[in-house]
Structure 1
Amino acid sequence: MGQKRRKRGWIWLLLVLALAAGVGWWVFGRESQTSVSYDTREVTRGDLMVTVVATGTVQPTTQVEISSELSGTLASVDADYNAQVSEGQVLARLDDTKLAAQVLNSEASLIASRARLASAQATATETADALESAEALDKRGLNTRSVIIAARAAHDRAVASVEIARADVSLAEANLASARADLDKAVIRSPINGIVLDRAAEKGQIVAASLNAPVLFTLAEDLRRMELRVSIDEADIGRVQLGQEASFTVDAWAGRRFEAQIASLRYAPDATTTDVVTYTAVLTVENDDLLLRPGMTATATITVSREDGQLLVPMAALRYSPPATVSTDRSGRGLMGYIMPSPPGRDRPRTATGDGSGVWVLRGGQPVRVRATPGATDGSNIVVTSEELREGDQVIISQREAR
């Protein structure tokens, strides 16, 4: 009987100890329970502009490099840097002493050729009359057959000489035209109305055009109308189209933006030594104030689309999702593991990310999932379409836990 009482005493003792342990476990667990605070942003309604950023250089719309077709020595240089020139204006002159002599020689050759033509024509007329007289006498039987043959041969030779003389005249005329053209090319003229951007010509300089004609002048047609050539990354080229508006900045005029418009998109990729493929876009630029200069480096922002009056949320809101929790595994803890409950706050959070099909809104202090269809984005904010989301809602972008 005493043995049974002692056994019951041990059992009650174990139950009391288990109960005490459970209470302690619960109390300490509550003390370590974590509280969650949420970082939120307000849903707004406004305009969103989607842009593409590209870099490039400002260039004249028309730029011409002028060389010399002839070799020789520059006798004079008549245009300098930044000079305004008109079409046909003299920029430089080569020494034309030899060229002028060639023209005189060609003119003399033409005169001689024309004189030989006149002589040949006179001989042809003379032989024609002699042949006619010989044929008349032959009809009356006063001439022999050999005389007729000789007269006809002489006339044929005279006619051939006329043709040769005419060919010589044509050749002399061509040589004279070529000599005059060379003489005219000794004067280097502007082919356009514009401005001298660069000059590499100096008086007394020897120009060797036979090998590789040097560039003597670089002209720009009109600096009041420029173009901006930028490189568009292949990831963005599908969104860029003709006629889209853009603005750009240059280092020379910090804080000022210049307007431009896409006028051309080239299909051929830019030559590059890196793995990045880019395509050239040409933008037209008005430069009435002449603030922009050729070669300036520019950073352009191209507006590819615009969404007006749309619901806007931060991009981070689409990536957020409340962490899933995994309860502590009770297996392997024996009987005590099933007697004592797991303390609050001891469940382990498992991180999760949103799938982009909705956002979490803080309502009544609790996160509530709201379906939303994403649209255009500028990298920071995104347009969403939703029947449940309203302007002013607080969307959750992240959360923090504090004990």
Structure 2
Amino acid sequence: MNDQAQSVKRLLGADATRRRGLVMIGLVLLGVAAVGFWLLAPRQNGKPRYETQEVARGRLVVKVSATGNLQPTNQVDVGSELSGIIDKVFVDVNDRVRQGQVLARLDTRRLEDQVARSRAALTAAQAAVAQARATLQEARANLARLEEVARISGGKVPSQAELETARANVAKAEAQLSSSEAGVEQARATLRTDETNLAKASIRSPINGVVLARKVEPGQTVAASLQAPVLFTLAEDLTRMELQVNVDEADVGQVRPGQNATFTVDAWPGRKYPAVIERVAYGSQVTEGVVYYPTTLRVANDDLSLRPGMTATAEIVTASREDVLLVPNAALRFSPPRTTGKKKSSLLDALLPKPPRPQSRRISEEVKRRDGARQVWILKDGAPQPVEIKTGLTDGRMTEVLDGELKPGMLVIIDMDSPGT
């Protein structure tokens, strides 16, 4: 009895396994049939699907992008003409200063001693002049006395040699007076130089502005033997700044002084600052083989949110057109593929992978004709129809239509999908 029960169980298990196998085979056959139907079924009656965009009127703004840095309109490096030790520093970074204000002072003891020596030398030179004048006066009086004696005696006395000696003494006294007077001028010049050096020991601000950098501390030695060391960097007026950008050689022909621009900085994301082009340099700069032309833009910074050295990205408006007919640039690049005979494909061909279709058959490069005309395609009775137009300015996405048969509301083809894709 037990053997019969086990036989029944084995039979029932075999039947269940057979049924599951048949179900799996049926599912596989159903999947193959679905794939075959999907591959062989016609789509859209073998016609390609076109992607279109409407032609409309609007505003076209042509911009040139450039990157640069913000700078003060007048930045001055303040140094020292004299060598010495810094005694005191009176300002720090971000301090506002006035023209003539003392920023720092050198140790002046040695310079004061030089001024004292020069004044003493001037006094001595002036005394030498007084002595020379007295000597000259004495020599002239002696000569006059001898000449009077000679006149009274009828030339008998004094002798001719005595008269010549007296005249020579007068000439020497006159020369000595001239030399002493020159010594006075020299002593005065030396005194003025020493007084000027003493004044230069007080380093003063040449402009009204703000201290951007302080590069000196009390006790530091300043050596100005070869060139004047920079002690402070001042900016004249941070409410008026300059944006120095580099314009690519391909765009410089569109950029002119007086054009408006906007720029952004990383410190204030989302905020656009206005600017105006002030100067476009004729001289070029080459960076890594790329030719740039330095361009200066005037910037208002009344709220002092901008700081020198910030990196800015500017967009310069080179042209603006209002209420013009616009066509997408993708429509100017589109060209339908050439129609050729197409053989039927088998199921094996449909299942095998195919190489990618060359884009050049579907989208061509923008081609300008000799007369400046361009070509776009519109749908007419479900088929592409070429339309010639004359184009103007472009912002890289849309192009101005100057002439042609395009009208607002027309749909131009910008792309297509072939059957089976």
TM-score by length of structure 1 reads 0.84
Pair 364,326 (structure 1): closer, same or farther in 2 beyond 3 Å? closer
Contact map agreement 2:334 2:362 (CA 8 A) in 1: no
Aligned residue in 1 for 2:142: 130
Pair 85,379 (structure 1): closer, same or farther in 2 beyond 3 Å? same
Q: State the one-letter code of the partner of 1:304.
A: T
1:256 aligns with 2:271: yes
- CA displacement at 1:325 relative to structure 2: 2.2
Contact map agreement 2:391 2:403 (CA 8 A) in 1: no
Aligned partners of 1:212 and 1:232: how far apart in 2? 35
- Give the alignment partner of residue 215 of structure 2, picking from 196, 200, 207: 200
Q: State the one-letter code of the partner of 2:97.
A: V
- Give the alignment partner of residue 412 of structure 2, picking from 381, 395, 401: 395
Aligned residue in 1 for 2:88: 76
Q: State the one-letter code of the partner of 1:297.
A: T
- Give the alignment partner of residue 302 of structure 1, picking from 300, 312, 316: 316
Aligned residue in 2 for 1:374: 391
Cα deviation digits, residues 328-375 of structure 1 (max 9, x gap): 79xxxxxxxxxxxxxxxxxxx955736341211123322221110111
State how many pairs are aligned.
355
1:230 aligns with 2:245: yes
1:279 aligns with 2:296: no
Aligned residue in 1 for 2:110: 98
1:37 aligns with 2:87: no
Aligned residue in 2 for 1:53: 65
Aligned partners of 1:34 and 1:149: how far apart in 2? 136
Contact map agreement 1:194 1:221 (CA 8 A) in 2: yes
Aligned residue in 1 for 2:33: none
Aligned partners of 2:361 and 2:202: how far apart in 1? 84
Q: State the one-letter code of the partner of 2:320.
A: R
TM-score by length of structure 2 reads 0.81
Q: State the one-letter code of the partner of 1:45.
A: R
- Give the alignment partner of residue 65 of structure 1, picking from 77, 98, 113: 77
Aligned partners of 1:211 and 1:355: how far apart in 2? 62
- CA displacement at 1:213 relative to structure 2: 3.0
Cα deviation digits, residues 129-151 of structure 1 (max 9, x gap): 22222223333312211011101
1:214 aligns with 2:226: no
For residue 48 of structure 2, give the secondary structure of its aligned residue in structure 1.
Answer: strand
Q: State the one-letter code of the partner of 2:229.
A: P
Aligned partners of 2:184 and 2:78: how far apart in 1? 35
1:267 aligns with 2:273: no
For residue 282 of structure 1, give the secondary structure of its aligned residue in structure 2.
Answer: strand
Aligned partners of 2:145 and 2:113: how far apart in 1? 48
Aligned residue in 2 for 1:337: none
1:320 aligns with 2:337: no
Contact map agreement 1:325 1:350 (CA 8 A) in 2: no
Aligned partners of 2:273 and 2:363: how far apart in 1? 45
- Give the alignment partner of residue 182 of structure 1, picking from 197, 220, 223: 197
Aligned partners of 2:71 and 2:237: how far apart in 1? 11
Aligned partners of 2:216 and 2:57: how far apart in 1? 63
Aligned partners of 1:243 and 1:386: how far apart in 2? 30
1:245 aligns with 2:249: no
Aligned CA RMSD, in angstroms, stands at 1.9
1:363 aligns with 2:380: yes
Aligned partners of 2:410 and 2:97: how far apart in 1? 65
Q: State the one-letter code of the partner of 2:311.
A: T
Contact map agreement 1:269 1:279 (CA 8 A) in 2: yes
Question: Gaps spanning 5+ residues in structure 2: where?
Answer: 1-39, 344-359, 369-373
- CA displacement at 1:271 relative to structure 2: 5.3
Question: Gaps spanning 5+ residues in structure 1: where?
Answer: 1-28, 330-348
For residue 370 of structure 1, give the secondary structure of its aligned residue in structure 2.
Answer: strand
Aligned partners of 2:217 and 2:41: how far apart in 1? 92
Aligned partners of 2:42 and 2:63: how far apart in 1? 51
Contact map agreement 1:64 1:218 (CA 8 A) in 2: yes
Question: 4+ residue runs of structure 1 moved beyond 4 angstroms?
Answer: 29-33, 349-352
For residue 202 of structure 1, give the secondary structure of its aligned residue in structure 2.
Answer: coil
Aligned residue in 2 for 1:340: none
